[in-house]
């Protein structure tokens, strides 16, 4: 979960908030990104994505990759997995060596289990400092934030508000922050349809 405004800006070129920073697109594309999994909602999210023929990015807490969670399907669907740390601490409150340990553990676990190289990192709570960026970069990780926070975590009672949060601010290359939550699953088909109606395709970094 993160605390933030709906729109996130950064002038720091080391932080990715828009997909176009990393690659040019020939057609209008946006990125759906889901934090905090793999959760028990993941199969439902993957079903919706498959039905809509959409790819997404999943930033996982590596401690959650136990066999009972059906995370394998995410790899088959062509989705991209990134690190959301091992235990989801606030990196700003950690010593440098602790930040390094969180990230190395997370990448090691994710790579060992998924057999895929991990290239992207999203800081828990969207919180980071210079040390975080340096450690991530030393480990070959690109730090990925977002330009639109759906605020899904705060909208259990008002899920349709997440759709308007996104649709009000969507632009070419937008990276949309979502979570593996029940209310998110509920409105995901609507959200995807509305995004498609605006002429956007879905991509990953």
- Catalog residues that contact Zn ion under the rule CB under 5 A: 35-36, 124
Kindly tell me which of 145 and 200 has the beta carbon lying closer to Zn ion.
Answer: 145
The size of the chain, in residues, is 205
b/e 131-153 (16+ beta carbons within 10 angstroms → b): bbbebbeebebbbbbbbbbbbbb
Helices and strands in the chain: count of H runs, count of E runs: 6, 9
* Shorter beta-carbon distance to Zn ion: residue 3 or 112: 3
Residue 97: exposure state from Cβ atoms within 10 A (0-12, 13-18, ≥19) = exposed
When the beta carbons of 56 and 200 are compared against Zn ion, the nearer one is 56
Q: How far is the CB of 124 from Zn ion (least distance, A)?
A: 5
Cα 143 to Cα 140: distance, rounded to the nearest angstrom: 10
Q: Which is nearer to Zn ion, 79 or 88 (CB)?
A: 88
Residue 204: its H or E element: none
Q: For 198, which DSSP code?
A: T
For residue 128, the minimal CB distance to Zn ion (Å) is 12
Residue 35 vs 200, nearer CB to Zn ion: 35
- Name the minimum Å distance from CB 61 to Zn ion: 7
Q: Residue 199 Cβ, how far from Zn ion at the closest point, in Å? A: 30
Residue found by looking up tokens 């969180």 in the block: 102
What's the closest the beta carbon of residue 37 comes to Zn ion, in angstroms? 9
């Amino acid at each position: 979960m993160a605390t933030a405004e709906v729109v996130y800006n950064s002038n720091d070129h080391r932080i990715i908030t828009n997909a176009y920073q990393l690659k040019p697109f020939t057609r209008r594309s946006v990125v759906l990104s889901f934090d905090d999994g793999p959760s028990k909602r993941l199969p439902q999210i993957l079903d919706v994505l498959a039905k809509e023929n959409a790819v997404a990015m999943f930033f996982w807490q590596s401690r959650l990759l136990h066999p009972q969670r059906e995370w394998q399907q995410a790899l088959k669907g062509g989705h991209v997995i990134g690190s959301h740390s091992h235990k989801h601490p606030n990196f700003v409150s950690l010593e440098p060596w602790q930040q390094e340990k969180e990230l190395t553990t997370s990448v090691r676990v994710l790579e060992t289990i998924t057999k895929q190289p991990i290239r992207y990192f999203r800081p828990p709570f969207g919180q980071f400092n210079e040390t975080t960026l340096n450690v991530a970069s030393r480990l070959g990780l690109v730090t990925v934030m977002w330009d639109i926070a759906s605020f899904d975590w705060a909208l259990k009672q008002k899920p349709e508000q997440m759709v308007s949060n996104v649709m009000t601010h969507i632009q070419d290359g937008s990276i949309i922050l979502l979570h593996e939550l029940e209310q998110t699953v509920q409105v995901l088909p609507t959200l995807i349809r509305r995004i498609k109606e605006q002429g956007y395709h879905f991509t990953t970094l």
